[in-house]
A = this chain, B = another copy of it.
């Protein structure tokens, strides 16, 4: 199967065939990334708009002091490079493939030439970006209002339910402790402390760097209704 066909299959699958005008459709390309590969790096010049159509990615930022903060994990459909396209700025956050990943990409130049005023694209971007905004808004308030214990409970709930949906089988709701710490914005050490508490209460089990959820009910009690998003 040719790339163009694959691309069209994805566009149909996610019902975004009409997002790009004719002239642009031919100029879409399909980029594949291996697990662990960096898709784009904070601070670099942004050139392409990407649409995640297959696999899972991780978006994170690194502080001047070298600390890492995971901003989100994303599954299809998701857009990367949208903010940078519109604002004309360098890449804000680093994006890395967590599994094998396929992305449809379009150069900014093409979009600027053929799709600057293409309402379907603009509406699509608005939709995606407002969703991102809302998510970011809730994480901000959530992080400032609640302690790590609540945030971790909430994160475990959100991740474990998502994993359920994907046909991952036994590995099911495994969560890497280091990821959790970086996502919540706290130290590995402190997450470990909280984990001990959860363990003592029989809410989770631990296995070599990973957690899996035993009692969603118990976690819900801790998290209140404050599930991520």
**A positions within 8 Å CB-CB of B:** 61, 63-65, 67, 69, 71, 82-83, 86-87, 89, 92-93, 116-119, 122-123, 125-127, 129-134, 136-137, 139-141, 143-145, 185, 224-226
Contact = CB atoms under 8 A, between A and B. Distances in A.
A87 B131 contact: yes
User: How many copies, total?
Assistant: 2
A86 B139 contact: no
A145 B63 contact: yes
B69 A126 contact: no
B130 A61 contact: no
Contacts of A125: 126
Nearest to A225: B64
Given A123-B117, A136-B137, A129 B129 contact: yes
A133 B131 contact: no
A44 to B, nearest CB: 16
A65 B209 CA distance: 34
A130 B87 contact: yes
A93 B139 CA distance: 14
Contacts of A225: 64
A137 B226 CA distance: 20
Given A61-B141, A89-B134, 20 more contacts: A64-B226, A67-B145, A69-B141, A69-B144, A71-B137, A83-B130, A86-B126, A86-B130, A87-B127, A92-B134, A116-B123, A119-B122, A122-B126, A126-B129, A129-B130, A129-B133, A132-B133, A136-B140, A140-B140, A145-B185
Contacts of A123: 116-117, 122
Given A67-B145, A122-B126, A131-B87, A139 B140 contact: yes
16 contacts: A64-B224, A65-B145, A71-B140, A83-B134, A87-B131, A87-B134, A89-B134, A92-B134, A117-B123, A125-B126, A129-B129, A136-B140, A139-B140, A140-B140, A143-B143, A143-B144
